[in-house]
Amino acid sequence: MKSIIHQLDKAFENRIRLGLMSILSVNDWVEFNELKTLLEVTDGNLASHISALDKKGFIETRKRFVGKKPNTTFRITDDGREAFSNHINALEMLLKGAI
């Protein structure tokens, strides 16, 4: 069996990605600007983290227009939910000293 430390997913090592996945795991669709505000990051910073998680298939992007304004929202995928859950479970085991 892999040691617990190897069960941590590198995709969630960054605090922004950890926060992003936390927000998406408890909400359906979340708008870009809301994520930016909650995480206190710039557009470019958030976009780069979204891109990294999207490439892994952990989040889904929906782009549409509301009236004449573009609206981009995100949600966690089933694969993302499973990977994030496994990561959190490994963190909890580490905190409990089950190395």
- Put the strands of the sheet holding 30-31 in their side by side order: 30-31, 69-76, 59-66
pLDDT digits (tens, 9 = 90+) for 10-45: 999 999 999 999 999 999 999 999 999 999 999 999
Instruction: Determine the topology of domain 4-95 in CATH.
Output: Arc Repressor Mutant, subunit A (1.10.10)
pLDDT digits (tens, 9 = 90+) for 44-55: 999 999 999 999
DSSP 48: H
Placement of tokens 């941590």 in the chain: 8
Is the distance from CB of 50 to CB of 20 less than 8 angstroms?
yes
Please report, for the chain, the start and end positions of each structural domain, with discontinuous segments joined by +: 4-95
pLDDT digits (tens, 9 = 90+) for 66-85: 899 999 999 999 999 999 99
pTM: 0.88
